[in-house]
Structure 1
Amino acid sequence: LVSHYPDRQILVREMTKLAREELEHFHQVLWLLQARGLVLRRDDKDLYVKSLRQEIRRGAAHYFLDQLIVAGIVEARGCERFGQIADALPPGKLRDFYREIVRSEAQHHSLFYRLAREYFPPEEVDARQDILLDRESEIVSSLPVRPAVH
């Protein structure tokens, strides 16, 4: 988003913060994997994200709005799934880690919707969000059950 919209100062500032935070989470995950004697695997394409991204319209304004909303939906789904993992874990450091990720993902989810409302009229954001959430429901229903964050 930053490379597409470098003139959007609020977006650039917020995405830079988000990138730093996500990189820190990645570092924490690497540490947890190494502590368990595991190694990082190749990242397979996520069919959920791919399918949802296909709903992004072309055209400058539509593309920007849809990118923000889709990113918010993906973050919300991640928040939901990480919460389920945290709830299933026994008390301890790993559970605490997942709870912290849930808190962070919830903030990211909110950030993308705030940014959408910063750059677009709220009624336009809400209308498009409703459409994309309906489409997301169809996508989720069509995918096989699998171990995935999204």
Structure 2
Amino acid sequence: MSIDAVLNEISEFLGCETPDAWVAEALNQQEVMLIDHANCEKKAATTAMNLLYKHIDREDLLKKMSQLAREELLHFEQVVGIMKERGIAYRHVSSSRYASGLRDAVRKGGVDELVDVLIVGAFIEARSCERFAKLAPHLDEKLQKFYRSLLRSEGRHYQDYLALAEQYASGPISSRIEAFRALERELIESPDPEFRFHSGVPAAA
């Protein structure tokens, strides 16, 4: 599938586009953007590894999550390398409300929990891909090239998470997707006091 086709699919999957006010804030806070981007890659690898440990009896999940974890850690290394070139120290920044806000809605226990975790993973990867595409035209040549290089893998990660959710569910997952889509849209479009890679509209906007 072409990048344009993946981005069109992601646009239909997500409930909204990234607001222009967030893009403007990201361009003004590129240091924080890169630090939190590195954090997001590390957390994505951690999520994949947690699924590997928790679901050792699901062969397709093990294969996909193993591949995903390796790719996310490579992206982490690449972001940290770019930061080093730019004299940006890798330091602690607080987490955004985004991922925790989505995970708070995950059902607890059994297959239902697994399906919801996979759907949340699909939304996080889809939003990341959409934001890379949204930011790329406004960035310097090197960062633009790097962010565009991430589109294919992030798009594949979204598709893998969604396919696994559909595979392991005991029935249709459309209602769960709709529930998370509405929640994700609220997190993206509502005012957010702190800028992060997945934050909402800057509170001052």
> Which residue in the other structure is 2:190 paired with?
142
**Seq. identity, %:** 36
Paired positions, count: 148
Question: Which residue of 2 is the match for residue 58 of structure 1?
Answer: 108
Give yes or no for the alignment of 1:99 onto 2:148.
Answer: yes
Deviations 1:67-115 (A, max 9, x none): 000010011111111111112124x222110001122211111110011
- Partner residue, 1:133: 181
Query: Partner residue of 2:127?
Result: 77
Match of residue 67 from structure 1: 117
Secondary structure of the equivalent of 1:30?
Answer: helix
Change (3 A) 1:89 1:141: closer
1:12-33, Cα deviation, whole Å (9 max, x unpaired): 1110000000010011111101
Q: RMSD of the TM alignment (CA)? A: 1.6
- TM-score of the aligned structures, taking structure 1 as reference length: 0.90
Q: Return 5+ residue gaps in structure 2 as ranges.
A: 1-50, 199-205
Q: Supply the distance in 2 between the matched residues of 1:139 and 1:31 (Cα, whole angstroms).
A: 30
- Asked if structure 1 preserves the Cα contact closer than 8 Å seen for 2:121 and 2:158, the reply is yes
Q: CA deviation at 1:34?
A: 0.7
The whole-number CA distance in structure 2 between the counterparts of 1:117 and 1:5 is 16
Contact 1:48–1:143 (CA under 8 A) maintained in structure 2: no
> TM-score normalised to the size of structure 2?
0.67
Alignment pair present for 1:40 and 2:85: no
Larger relative contact order, structure 1 or 2 (CA cutoff 8 Å, min sep 6): 2
2:168 to 119, 134, 143: 119
Residue identity opposite 1:81 in structure 2: R
* 2: CA distance, partners of 1:145 / 1:108: 29
Q: Deviations over 1:117-145 (max 9, x none)?
A: 22125x62222111111122223333416
